[in-house]
Amino acid sequence: MSDTDDGGGQELGITESKAHKPGEWYAEVVQKAELADYAPMGGFIVTRPRGYAIWERIKDHLDGWFKSSGVQNSYFPMFIPESYLEREKDIVEGFDPEVAWVSEAGHEELEERLAVRPTSESIITPFIARWVRSHRDLPMRLNQWCSVVRWEATDTKPFFRTKEFLWQEGHTAHADEDGAWTETMARLGQYERLYEEVMAIPGLTGRKPEHDKFPGAHTTTTIEALMPDGKSVQAGTSHYLGTSFAEAFDITYADVDEAERTAHTTSWGLSWRAMGALIMTHSDDQGLVLPPALAPEQVVIVPIWQEDTEDEVLEYSADLAADLDDEFRVHLDDRDERNPGFKYNEWELKGVPLRIEIGPNEVADGEVTMVHRPDGESEVADRDAAVDAVGEALDTVYAKLYAAAEATLEENIREAHGRDEILGTLGQHGGYVRTGWCGDEGCETEIKDQIAAEIVMLPLDRDEAPVHDTCGVCGEPAADTAYFAKNY
């Protein structure tokens, strides 16, 4: 049996190459690392325990930050009456092609069709309107962790493209524009923090062009992450909704001077697409690579023994595992039906950030040998200092992942001006192309039709001078700097 044979003759390791077949490689990593499987209905996936454990950690980080900044969790029905959905016309138009409807239940036709929520503004905002009476009730900040359904006819790609996906959606109401804007930016900042500090992925923050805003929003802000295949992922969005939803659903409040005023609202969401970005960014031809903060097991200890050294090696390993267990998520792989090489491959495939090898030499010298998942670098530490050494090694693993992703991002932001140069640069390198933009959607369409790249963002600061005086496509005066990229 080879080191990568699972015993049943099926190849355990990844067979496709990330560089040459990123789509097939991604699907293989997701399945073989046991993150997800395909459901019987096209467009749906089953999230397996190892995948769900990663989502739970993403959720725990964000949820903690939300709660410590004034957000309360709540839960609203997954069905929205058609008449509610119709009250904000942009939402209806924006989501209409993707809404799944329930029109019949228990053999009866329903009096009113129910939409399976594609997003929940239309069911949450009317309740905020009911609960807000005076300025003392503001700001009101609600969040829910749930799934939504958008019936898109595209190929299934686990965590990137599925008809049902897990996410959180936050919905807030504020007395004025300032309060709502501060909220919008605070949530975008938390998404950025999640990507950078937890997921080891640097993001670019910006706003969407007018024609690509969330339906009904005044401004949609976004965090974009660059994938190794040169495409951008919209990694989280935070919307300042102005008063459009408050007007449609009547969120008014009595101000300090007793005057009745209309609230300003926001909504913001981050989905399990973050997991897709995570898998895609760091993983390699050996399988999944995870940053320590999200790994179900942070450390795996692999004892290496012969018959005559078994007892001492296993005892030393078990003692080490017990020591590390207080601070880290540790797994001791003492299966005796598997050889060490097989175990190395399996834990590499599953993305454990740090492997500790313990053989007779380590026992004799009072040492531990640690191997970093991302690059295979190994280091030796004293057994007595193992807890600190493991902590430092995990920090180093995080730093390596972040540095690699940051280098990729920096190398892949290029400037171009003129239709041919923009198309040539995107075609050759992918990544982001910065250029001046007049603000006309037609100039985006011209690029999109040629190369399927679009304007993924504009700078957050509306007053920032454009990178060029003229539009990179039509040559008219530029109003903004556009970031063109192919995207997911």
Binding site for Zn ion (CB under 5 A): 438, 440, 443, 471, 473-474
Q: Are strands 140-149 and 72-73 parallel, antiparallel or unpaired?
A: parallel
Which CB atom, from 14 or from 473, has the smaller least distance to Zn ion? 473
Which CB atom, from 391 or from 424, has the smaller least distance to Zn ion? 424
Which CB atom, from 77 or from 477, has the smaller least distance to Zn ion? 477
Q: How far is the CB of 457 from Zn ion (least distance, A)?
A: 17
Which CB atom, from 421 or from 440, has the smaller least distance to Zn ion? 440
Q: Are 432 and 412 in contact (CB under 8 A)?
A: yes
Pairwise CA distance, residues 326 & 71, whole Å: 31
Q: How far is the CB of 124 from Zn ion (least distance, A)?
A: 38
Say which residue the tokens 């003759």 belong to.
9
Beta bridge pairs of residue 105: 108
Lookup: tokens for 421 = 């140069």
Which CB atom, from 397 or from 416, has the smaller least distance to Zn ion? 416
Q: How far is the CB of 217 from Zn ion (least distance, A)?
A: 23
Q: How far is the CB of 458 from Zn ion (least distance, A)?
A: 13
Which CB atom, from 319 or from 469, has the smaller least distance to Zn ion? 469
Q: How far is the CB of 417 from Zn ion (least distance, A)?
A: 11
Pairwise CA distance, residues 186 & 221, whole Å: 11
Q: How far is the CB of 447 from Zn ion (least distance, A)?
A: 10
Lookup: tokens for 172 = 């807030």
Which CB atom, from 282 or from 417, has the smaller least distance to Zn ion? 417
Pairwise CA distance, residues 476 & 443, whole Å: 10
Q: How far is the CB of 424 from Zn ion (least distance, A)?
A: 18
Long-range contacts of 147-155 (CB under 8 A, 24+ apart): 147/78, 148/116, 148/117, 148/118, 148/119, 148/120, 149/100, 149/116, 149/117, 149/118, 150/95, 150/98, 150/99, 150/118, 151/43, 151/98, 151/99, 151/100, 152/43, 152/98, 154/43
Residue 188, number of CB atoms within 10 A of its CB: 23
Q: How far is the CB of 481 from Zn ion (least distance, A)?
A: 13
Residue 123, number of CB atoms within 10 A of its CB: 20
Alpha-helix runs per DSSP H in 196-294:
244-249, 273-282
Which CB atom, from 140 or from 443, has the smaller least distance to Zn ion? 443
Lookup: tokens for 314 = 């296993």
